[in-house]
Amino acid sequence: MKLMIVIIRDIDDPHVVQNLVDQGYRVTRMASTGGFLKRGNVTLLIGVEDDRVQTVTELLRQICRPEDSTQHRATVFVVDMPHFEQI
């Protein structure tokens, strides 16, 4: 299992979260603020099976749109998650 930590612009948030939920992913959303330009961001925590990381990444590519060509659509960190439990 992997934990995807995804940072997106706050204006992309509703579309990304809704699409992920519609496809059966569980998402935890945290409001955050960018460092340099102090823009509103959202950090998403998404637990996924190893073989679904690419699917989520592709969804982010399709939905997130940069304001201009110098910006990234999203920042994505993928880390191993050796244990996952819901209580």
What are 28-39's pLDDT values in tens digits? 999 887 765 567
State how beta strands 40-48 and 27-33 pair: antiparallel
What's the average model confidence in pLDDT over 58-87? 88
CATH number of domain containing 21: 3.30.70.120
Residues in the chain: 87
The mean per-residue pLDDT over the stretch 11-23 comes to 94
- Residue 86 inside a domain? The answer is no
Domain-embedded: residue 11: yes
Q: How many structural domains is the chain composed of? A: 1
Give the tens place of pLDDT for each residue, 59-69. Answer: 999 999 877 77
Note whether residue 23 is domain-resident.
Answer: yes
What mean pLDDT, rounded, does the chain reach? 90
In a domain, residue 63? The reply is yes
| 46 located within any domain | yes
The range of the structural domain enclosing residue 66 comes to: 2-80
Whether residue 87 lies inside any domain: the answer is: no
